[in-house]
């Protein structure tokens, strides 16, 4: 039966692409165990704890109705063998909830004994390393056998799971086949992967049909309708624009809905389009209005509010790279989408976040910043979620209002989001999805109306691939990326930045051409933070010593190709320890510094010293 379901062509494809590469699977299992230990998952608990009640499960199924409709025919193909082989098949949504489970009666009873049932949330943070949860995080097929499971309760099981993605790579769910260990089959992994692939193909076909139906609905809009109308698909891409918009924006086709803001439009209202075939959402008809005089923001009601131009409290400069950043900020600020700001340390990511907030509809609300890398891991939950009075020993008498609640009605800025612990990633994702928070030790749910802006100097996509950052949280935050260039890519702004800093602090500096050349010759690894530090040093240094000081910014021996003094034995040991800590932490400076027991500022200083 398995050989019938897995064609030779598909089998070769999976082997060729490394889908069932045992070495890669073993690496994913090792990474997962490391995450579970770090997240303090109890290996002796290991049974399902979060199980949706009937009504909640039906709501979850309705939410993923389209996936169920397309996947169930494929699962039904597998059903006869599943029953004969004493196995069970499962369909899981991107949050880890089991939407559908079917199989042989005895296997279902054994699964029930560990709460492996419909409606359970079967993720790594709940039950440790398992095929479903690990496939969700790794975003690739995986098989977990026996004691490879982190939970002792699952050691009698063999499980194979494969992610299901749409044509854009977005995770739709996970397909899993599980069985007691003695009934496992060597080709289960390939079968699951092939069925997931077939479901993806069905999804792509259905999406094409949705697009055709959406276009038919769009063509029914009268051309003499005076309103500014566009039709967008479920991904927010424009598939139809009225004649007036086509004249103003010639390259409208395929444009993201949010991009229309950058072309002088604001949204007035929207109407969802439901499919006549399956009843699900296939797109929106959006009515727009033109903003006046290139005004930055306009009321989203029918009447136009007074003109309000873009505000930026820092120094804009003239460099093309930073002007591009400001244009991105100007485009995204009036919307309410989540933003991730990328940039090296010291480039001014928080200033960019403040500019987005100041030019948004939430500008009159609070702007609350949290440096995720500076908050100890054991305090992260209470810092973000807050706690009730008496929630734990040492809690404040009246409790504590966490940063999420403090930011209610405004903007929450999560700096160094890449350093947030895995357990907190799960909790934060839940808050962003449900828009409510429950403080520690409280049963009261507090509704939230916040916009989240995250920032990092790391590559979040790479962290997702390495399994240190949740893919579902990545897509929830990474709606609109904004990149802040390093100072070495905008050196033409250096003098303007110096003048801006000096004026803001009530002093002035005369920058001669010779001093300017020395400033331009430096690569500024510390970016604007380093520049302002240098300005403070110049402020208190006699002008005749400036050239010597600036020449020392870069080691002259390196510039002339001369060898730098050899490290002492103690320095060699310290350098090796730092390199090993970085390897263990997968490049996370915050985690490496914690492993070594030194402050992050000291750690960064030693990185620079040893050129790591």
Cα 294 to the center of its chain, rounded Å? 32
| Confidence at residue 446, expressed as pLDDT on a 0 to 100 scale | 86
User: Phi, psi (5° rounding) for residue 598?
Assistant: -125, 155
* Residue of higher predicted confidence among 8 and 363: 363
DSSP 277-345: TT--EEEEEEEEEEPSTT-SB--SSSSPPPPB----SS---S-HHHHHHHHHHHHHTTS---EEEE--T
As a whole number of angstroms, the distance between CA 429 and CA 452 comes to: 11
Q: Average pLDDT for residues 188-206, to the nearest whole number? A: 90
According to the model, what pLDDT value does residue 586 have?
Answer: 64
Mean pLDDT of 383-411: 75
Task: Determine the longest span between alpha carbons in the chain, in angstroms.
Answer: 89
Give residue 393's pLDDT: 53
Cα–Cα distance measured from residue 407 to residue 400, given in angstroms and rounded to the nearest whole number: 14
Q: pLDDT tens-digit profile of 204-238?
A: 898 888 888 888 888 888 877 778 898 998 888 88
Measured CA to CA, the distance from residue 343 to residue 319 in angstroms comes to 16
In whole angstroms, what is the distance from residue 386 CA to residue 17 CA? 46
pLDDT tens column, 254-277 = 788 877 877 778 888 888 888 887
pLDDT bracket for residue 392 (50, 70, 90): low
Is the pLDDT at 25 greater than 80, yes or no?
A: no
- In terms of pLDDT, which residue wins out, 302 or 420? 420
Contact call for residues 121 and 97 (beta carbons, < 8 A):
yes
What's the mean per-residue pLDDT of the chain?
Answer: 81
The per-residue pLDDT for range 546-595, each reduced to its tens digit, is: 877 777 775 544 443 444 456 665 676 677 778 777 766 666 777 777 77
**pLDDT digits 0-9 by tens, 26-58:** 778 888 898 888 888 888 888 888 899 988 899
Mean pLDDT of 186-206: 89
How confident is the model at residue 537, as a pLDDT? 82
DSSP structure class, residue 94: T
Note the pLDDT of residue 87.
Answer: 95
282 is written with which tokens?
Answer: 């296939």
pLDDT of residue 71: 94
Per residue, the 3-state secondary structure of 199-244, as one string, reads HHHHHHHHHHHHHHHHHHHHHCCCCCCCCEEEEEECCCEEEEECHH
Model pLDDT, residue 88: 96
The predicted structure's pLDDT at residue 362: 85
Q: How far, in whole angstroms, is CA 190 from its chain's centroid? A: 30
Q: Summarize the confidence of residues 197-202 as an average pLDDT.
A: 91
Q: Answer for the pair 66, 194: CB distance below 8 angstroms, yes or no.
A: no
Q: Is the pLDDT of residue 293 over 70?
A: no
Q: What is the pLDDT of residues 426-457, one digit of tens each?
A: 888 888 888 888 887 777 888 888 889 999 98
Q: pLDDT at position 409, please?
A: 87
3-state helix, strand, coil in the chain (%, to 5): 45, 15, 35
Confidence (pTM): 0.47
pLDDT in the model for residue 566: 62
Inter-residue contact 88 to 111 (CB < 8 Å) = yes
| Low-confidence winner among 106-120, 363-377, 562-576 (lowest mean pLDDT) | 562-576
User: Contact, 446 vs 405, CB < 8 A?
Assistant: yes
Tell me which of 280-284, 411-415, 508-512 is least confident: 508-512
């Amino acid at each position: 039966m398995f050989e019938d379901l897995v064609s030779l062509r598909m089998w070769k494809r999976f082997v060729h692409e490394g889908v069932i590469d045992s070495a890669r699977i073993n690496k994913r299992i090792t990474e997962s165990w490391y995450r579970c230990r770090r997240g303090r998952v109890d290996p002796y608990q290991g049974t399902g704890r979060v199980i949706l009640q009937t009504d909640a499960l039906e709501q979850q199924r309705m939410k993923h109705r389209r996936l169920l409709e397309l996947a169930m025919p494929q699962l039904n193909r597998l059903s006869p063998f599943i029953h004969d082989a004493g196995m069970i098949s499962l369909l899981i949504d991107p949050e880890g909830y089991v939407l559908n489970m079917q199989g042989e009666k005895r296997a279902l009873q054994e699964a029930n004994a560990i709460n492996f049932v419909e409606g359970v949330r079967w993720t790594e943070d709940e039950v440790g390393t398992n095929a479903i949860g690990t496939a969700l995080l790794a975003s690739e097929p995986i098989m977990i056998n026996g004691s490879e499971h982190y939970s002792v309760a699952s050691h009698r099981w063999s499980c194979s799971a494969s992610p299901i993605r749409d044509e854009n790579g977005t995770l739709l769910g996970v397909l899993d086949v599980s069985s007691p260990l003695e009934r496992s089959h060597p080709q289960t992994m390939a079968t699951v992967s092939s069925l997931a692939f077939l479901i993806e193909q069905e999804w792509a076909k259905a999406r094409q049909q949705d697009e055709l139906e959406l276009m038919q609905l769009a063509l029914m809009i009268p051309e003499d309708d005076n309103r500014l109308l566009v039709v967008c698909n479920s991904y927010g891409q424009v598939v139809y624009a009225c004649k007036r918009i086509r004249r103003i924006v010639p390259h409208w086709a395929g444009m993201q809905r949010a991009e229309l803001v950058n072309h002088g439009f604001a949204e007035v209202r929207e109407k969802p389009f439901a499919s006549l075939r399956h009843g699900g959402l296939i797109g929106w008809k959006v009515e727009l209005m033109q903003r006046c005089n290139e005004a930055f923001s306009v009321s989203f009601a029918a009447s136009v509010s007074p003109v309000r131009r873009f505000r930026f409290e820092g120094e804009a400069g003239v460099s093309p790279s930073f002007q591009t950043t400001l244009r991105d900020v100007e485009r995204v600020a009036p919307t309410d989408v989540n933003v991730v700001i990328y940039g090296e340390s010291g480039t001014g990511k928080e200033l960019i976040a403040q500019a987005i907030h100041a030019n948004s509809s939430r500008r009159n609300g609070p702007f609350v910043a949290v440096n995720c890398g500076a908050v100890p891991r054991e305090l992260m939950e209470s810092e973000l979620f807050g706690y009730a009075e008496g929630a734990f020993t040492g809690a404040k008498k009246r409790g504590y209002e966490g940063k999420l609640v403090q930011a209610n009605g405004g903007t929450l800025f999560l700096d160094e989001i890449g350093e947030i612990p895995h357990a907190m990633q799960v909790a934060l994702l839940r808050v962003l999805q449900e828009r409510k928070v429950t403080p520690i030790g409280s049963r009261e749910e507090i509704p939230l109306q916040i916009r989240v802006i995250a920032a990092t100097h790391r590559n979040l996509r790479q962290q997702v691939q390495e399994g240190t950052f949740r893919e579902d949280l990545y897509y929830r935050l990474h709606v609109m990326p904004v990149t802040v260039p390093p100072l070495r890519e905008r050196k033409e702004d250096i003098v303007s930045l110096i003048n801006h800093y000096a004026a803001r602090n009530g002093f002035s500096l005369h920058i001669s051409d010779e001093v300017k050349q020395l400033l331009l010759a430096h690569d500024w690894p510390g970016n604007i933070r380093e520049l302002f530090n240098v300005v403070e040093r110049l402020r208190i240094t006699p002008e005749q010593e400036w050239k010597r000081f600036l020449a020392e910014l870069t080691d002259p021996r390196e510039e002339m190709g001369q060898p730098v003094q050899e490290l002492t034995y103690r320095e060699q040991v310290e350098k090796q320890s730092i390199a090993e800590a970085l390897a263990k932490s997968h490049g996370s400076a915050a985690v490496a510094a914690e492993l070594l027991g030194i402050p992050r500022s000291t750690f960064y200083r030693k990185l620079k010293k040893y050129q790591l």
